Amino acid sequence: TASVVRAEANQPINPVIRKEEAKVVDSVLVAELSKPLTAYCRCWRSGTFPLCDGSHVKHNKATGDNVGPLLVKKQE
Ligand code: FES
């Protein structure tokens, strides 16, 4: 219902990651990527944040959410 949506909108999206920081920001220098593909977490559940560790799969199953990583690919 609309009231449920509003209640959820008032919740932090980040439950636990680096809460001591005023704002969590990460930078990526693409030219320095050593691997051809790197997955960055956007669900805020990863144990290796900001990298994706696959925790979004469990989160999606538990909540019906559909979040996944940002894939950064090294240009050939
Ligand atoms: Fe968060 Fe994969 S663990 S997007």
- ipTM of the predicted structure? 0.99
Model pLDDT, residue 18: 86
Active site residue 58: no
User: What are the structure tokens assigned to 23, written together?
Assistant: 């704002």
Model pLDDT, residue 68: 92
DSSP H helices, 1-76, are 2-9, 55-63
User: For 12-21, 43-52, 53-62, which range has the lowest pLDDT when averaged over its residues?
Assistant: 12-21
Closest to 38 (Cα-Cα) out of 52, 54, 48: 52
* Count of other CB atoms within 10 angstroms of residue 27: 5
75: CA distance to ligand 1 center in Å?
23
Mean pLDDT along residues 54-76 = 89
Cα separation, 68 vs 49, whole angstroms? 13
Kindly state the DSSP code that residue 69 receives in the 8-state scheme: P
Average pLDDT, the chain: 82
Total-model pTM: 0.70
Is ligand 1 within 6 A of the CB of residue 40? Answer: no
Cα separation, 60 vs 66, whole angstroms? 6
Model pLDDT, residue 69: 93
